[in-house]
């Protein structure tokens, strides 16, 4: 009986540690793009972090919003507090027959105060390792390396249509520290954010 109870406690503690390390800190958080989504396939202002993923690689799935050409896109997510960031997952659609292509390069930059930034990772996907032909969902995984951040910035290219359903920021919520930053996410200067490209 006592052994059974001890085992139960060990299992509960262990599973809570695993769950804690896997928490999406961006869920329901505010974010700002440097360029708005296209009005044909608009973002309602919360779609990037609402936890709703497209259940199919199809551009008319209601979970997708679209960005069309122009400059690189940069989006900043405000976690509202400082956490150690493990990784960021960025989910895109590739549907060549309707002119939607996954990005070729996605970069991650982190900041505690919204003013000083550090580029921490980027992923470049070559045509020969993942062709843009065909229809599929593509996730880019960027490593935060345990760096502390409140503001999470992601940059990606938009050669044609780029469709997005969700970005997720994973970290252990027990690393939470109150933020003393006074920078509103809507006042972030995109020009000051460091990236590798
Ligand atoms: Ca979503």
Domain boundaries, the chain: 24-192
Stretches where the chain sits below pLDDT 70 are 1-2, 9-21
Spell out the CATH class of 24-192.
mainly beta
Measured CA distances, 3 to 9, 10, 13, 14 (Å): 10, 11, 15, 16
Ion ligand 1 neighbours, Cβ < 5 Å: 47, 50, 52, 165-166
Q: What is the model's pTM? A: 0.90
Q: How far is the CA of 77 from the centre of ligand 1 (A)?
A: 13
Name the DSSP class of 159: S
pLDDT tens by residue, 73-101: 999 999 999 999 999 999 999 999 999 99
> Please, are residues 137 and 55 in contact by the beta-carbon 8 Å criterion?
no
Q: How far is the CA of 11 from the centre of ligand 1 (A)?
A: 32
């Amino acid at each position: 009986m006592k052994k059974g109870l001890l085992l139960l406690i060990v299992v509960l503690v262990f599973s809570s540690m695993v769950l804690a390390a896997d928490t999406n800190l961006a869920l329901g958080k505010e974010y700002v793009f440097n360029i708005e989504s296209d009005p044909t396939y608009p973002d309602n202002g919360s779609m990037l972090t609402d936890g709703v993923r497209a259940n199919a690689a199809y551009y008319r799935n209601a979970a997708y919003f679209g960005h069309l050409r122009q400059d690189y896109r940069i989006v900043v997510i405000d976690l509202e507090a400082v956490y150690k960031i493990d990784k960021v997952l960025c989910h895109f659609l590739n549907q060549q027959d309707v002119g939607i292509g996954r990005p070729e390069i996605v970069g991650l930059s982190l900041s505690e105060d919204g003013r000083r930034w550090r580029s921490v990772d980027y992923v470049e996907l070559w045509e020969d390792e993942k062709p843009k032909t065909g229809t599929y969902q593509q996730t880019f995984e960027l490593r935060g390396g345990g760096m502390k951040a409140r503001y999470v910035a992601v940059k990606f290219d938009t050669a044609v249509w780029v469709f997005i359903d969700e970005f997720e920021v994973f970290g252990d919520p027990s690393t939470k520290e109150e933020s003393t930053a006074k920078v509103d996410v809507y006042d972030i200067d995109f020009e000051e954010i460091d990236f590798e490209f």
